[in-house]
Amino acid sequence: MELFDKITELKNEIIKEIKEAKNLNELKLAGEKNLSKKSPLNAMMAHIKDLVGEAKANFGQAMNKARNEVTEAYQNRQLELSEAEIKEKLSKEKIDITLPSVSYKMGGINPFYLIQDEIIDIFVSMGYEVKEGPDVETDYFNFERMNIPENHPAREMQDSFYITNSLLLRTHTSPAQAHAMDEKKGEPIKIICPGKCFRRDDDDVTHSHQFGQVEGLVVDKNINFGNLKATLELFLRKMFGEKREVRFRGSYFPFTEPSVEVDISCMECHGKGCPTCKGTGYIEILGAGMVHPNVLKMAGYDPKEYSGFAFGVGIERVAMLRYGIDDIRRIYQGDVRFIEQFTRK
């Protein structure tokens, strides 16, 4: 059956030609030559008219098979070549993947605001309102309403920046307590008041004539010192870690009674003693107490019926402790190399 051999021979030749096409162009030419109706393989079909019966059928089948094989070979080669072509094209498009990106970084935040926002968020989660009092205060609110009567040492000119005899830059956020009580007119209160404060201190490593505080005030019937204790423990552990020990020391503020200083176990040494806590194992973190009956009375709350607690946290102090900031002036200097170190807690 030399006819069949011829088909095979021709088919093999064509497949070889297809496989040897070096690029898609050559392949296309080979295709045009061998896959068209007038291709040498198709020309073999002329022989069918010389055949009959089974031979004719066999011949037809052999031709179909050969054509299919050729088509398949063509398609395979086409795939191979186009893949290679894409590969080669892409290989030329290689970039240095370590070059700098287009920056979509969040801007830096002054650690002062980082801490202030964090304190606010903790108390908001505990159901507190947040409200800012004014930086410029009357001495009536800054002192008298805080149970610091005239002639009290804290009212000395040397400690406060006065604008007129009765107007000054507030020396603490505590007057916000009096404002809150005046506004609530006898209703229960749960509020924090963040803000800027000012004292006549020369600026140095640890002192600043401007500084921030967050004041807290809760007033209702039956508020007791234990409520203050629990609230501060919760806050301080959220702020400084669940493992912090919290301790209370007797202290004095004119507007609270009893008054306490609150310490937490040192986050560096966990109470063993180290340079951060000056060897004591504890760090003083805020002042607090039960609202003095006079402060309630002046705001129209009957101290026989109502009681409350209050606390004040220094923002810079917390920021300095948390981030190991060595000089409070850095916070106000605005060097972007400093600011950009801080993005989130």
Partner 1 sequence: MKVSLNLLKKFVNLDNLTPTEIAHRLTFAGVEVESISSLASGTNLVVGEVLTCENMPDSDHLHLTAVNAGEKYGVLHIVCGAPNVRKGLKVIVATDGAKLPGGTIKKGKIRGHESEGMLCSLSELGVDSKYLSESQLSGIEELSVGKVGDENVLELLGLDDVIFDLKLLANRSDLYSIYNVAKEIKTLFNKELSLPKFEMVKGEKTNFKVSSLTSKCSQFSAMVVKDIKVKESPSWLKDALRSSGIRSINNIVDIGNYVMLLTGQPLHMYDLDKLPKKELIVKDDIEGDFIALDEKTYKLQKGDVCITSNNKVMCLGGVMGSLECAVDDNTKNIVIEAANFDFASIRRTSIRLALSSDSSQRFVKGINPNQYNEVMALTLSLLKELASAKSNSEVVTYLEKKYESKVITSSTKYINNRLGTSFKDEEIVSALESAFIKVENNKGELVAHIPDSRIDITGEADLSEEVIRILGFEHVRSELPSMTLSVGKLEEKLLKKRMVRNYLRGLGLDEELTYSLVKESEINDFRILNKEEAYKVMNPLTDEHAYVRTNLLPSLMNTLTYNVSHGNPNLAIFEVSDLYSENNRHIHLAVVMHGNDNRQGMLSNVPYGYFHIKGIVDGLLALFNVDDKRVVISRCNEKEYHPGKSAEIKVDGKRIATFGELHPNTLNKYSLKSKDVAVLEMDLDALFNVRTSAKKMSVVSKFPPVNHDLAIVLRDDISSADVIKEIYKVNRELISKVDVFDVYRGEHIKEGYYSLAVSITYTSLEKTLTSEDVSSLEESIIKALENRFNAELRK
- Residue ranges in 158-187 that form contacts with partner 1 under rule CB under 8 A: 158, 161-164, 167, 169
Q: Is 245 in the site for partner 1 (CB under 8 A)?
A: no
Using DSSP's 3-state secondary structure scheme, residue 193 falls into: strand
CB nearer to partner 1: give 17 or 137. Answer: 137
User: Judged by CB under 8 A, which of 229, 237, 238, 270 binds partner 1?
Assistant: 229
Secondary structure letter of residue 145 according to DSSP: G
Cβ 90 to partner 1 shortest distance, Å: 22
CB nearer to partner 1: give 78 or 280. Answer: 280
User: Judged by CB under 8 A, which of 16, 157, 205, 326 binds partner 1?
Assistant: 157
Cα 27 from Cα 82, distance rounded (Å): 11
Q: Which residues contact 140 (CB under 8 A, 6 or more apart)?
A: 166
Cβ 107 to partner 1 shortest distance, Å: 4
Q: Is 3 in the site for partner 1 (CB under 8 A)?
A: no
Cα 196 from Cα 161, distance rounded (Å): 13
Got the DSSP string for 14-53?
HHHHHHH--SHHHHHHHHHHHHSTTSHHHHGGGGGGG--H
User: Judged by CB under 8 A, which of 24, 26, 78, 332 binds partner 1?
Assistant: 332
For helices 2-20 and 24-35, give the axis angle rounded to 10 degrees. Answer: 160
Q: Is 47 in the site for partner 1 (CB under 8 A)?
A: no
Site for partner 1 in 97-156 (CB under 8 A): 99-110, 112-113, 117, 120, 123-132, 134-136, 150-154, 156
How many residues touch partner 1 under the rule CB under 8 A: the total is 88
- Nearest residue to 22 (alpha-carbon basis) of 89, 77, 91, 87: 77
Site for partner 1 in 253-272 (CB under 8 A): 254, 257-260
User: Judged by CB under 8 A, which of 171, 174, 213, 231 binds partner 1?
Assistant: 231
Cβ 98 to partner 1 shortest distance, Å: 12
User: Judged by CB under 8 A, which of 51, 62, 225, 322 binds partner 1?
Assistant: 225
| C-alpha Rg value of the chain to the nearest Å | 43
Site for partner 1 in 202-221 (CB under 8 A): 202, 209-210, 218, 220
Cβ 78 to partner 1 shortest distance, Å: 36
- List residues bridging with 264 in a β-sheet: 246, 283
Give the residue carrying structure tokens 């986050």.
267
Burial class (CB in 10 A: 0-12, 13-18, 19+), 265: buried
Cα 209 from Cα 191, distance rounded (Å): 26
Cβ 134 to partner 1 shortest distance, Å: 6
Q: With contact defined as beta carbons under 8 Å apart, do 148 and 255 qualify?
A: yes
Cα 287 from Cα 215, distance rounded (Å): 10
Q: Is 95 in the site for partner 1 (CB under 8 A)?
A: no
CB nearer to partner 1: give 2 or 202. Answer: 202
Q: Is 91 in the site for partner 1 (CB under 8 A)?
A: no
